[in-house]
Amino acid sequence: MVDSYLKNEYRANFEPGKSLPKISTKLDSVRSYQFEVKFFGVPAEFINTQQVLTAAAKQVSPVGGSVDDIVVDRINDKMYYPGKYTPENITVTFDNLYIQRSSPALWNWFKSIYDPVTGDMTQFAAPGGTGVGNFKAMKMTVVELDNTSEPHASIELYGVYPTGVRFSEKNYSTNEFSTLECTFRYDFADYFKTGV
């Protein structure tokens, strides 16, 4: 027989007027709007870029990936085994800030990976570029905040670099800030709960 977990566990020992059910006290969750995006290792050529991008970031696409299948066919059967992990691109939407110049910083960072005018690629990366360092030495952290705006957990992305930039549409009839969508590719991801 199948039992109801929420009824038997979360409403157990509930006495109206004396106590609250667990379902109303134990299921508070992280809000999707309480977050902060931090950048580490952004090329030094872009002054104060790390803090500017944190202030400008207003939306983050879902972060994740999937394990590819290895299919084994035997007689009339089909078996599946885990194969390689493939991370999905992440898209961050940034406000086009006047004073802090978030859009020029993102555009110049993108151009350091591939410059559509000159055709140069990874120009700030050794050994082929004129700069010093590695264009994949950057880390992005999506910090989940609790109800007091303190870090609750974080999603860490390693080997991050921008692969695409999209400026928002321009429209006289809207009442919104101009934004810039930047797509990032990364190699590895991990999730950490603060204080664990």
Confidence of residue 90 (pLDDT cuts 50, 70, 90): very high
Instruction: Write the DSSP symbol of residue 103.
Output: H
pTM of the model: 0.82
pLDDT, tens digit (0-9, with 9 covering 90-100), for 124-181: 666 655 555 677 878 999 999 998 889 999 999 999 999 999 999 999 998 999 999 9
Specify the pLDDT at position 133.
62
pLDDT, tens digit (0-9, with 9 covering 90-100), for 3-56: 777 777 777 777 777 777 777 767 788 889 999 999 888 766 665 677 888 888
Residue of 88, 106, 89 whose CA lies nearest to 97: 106
Helix (H) or strand (E) holding 78: strand 77-87
- Domains, the chain, ranges and CATH? 22-60+87-193 (2.30.110)
Backbone angles phi, psi at 88, to 5 degrees: -90, 150
pLDDT, tens digit (0-9, with 9 covering 90-100), for 93-113: 999 988 888 888 888 888 888
* 188 contacts 141 by C-beta, under 8 angstroms: no
Asked if the bond preceding 116 is cis, omega within 30° of 0, the reply is: no
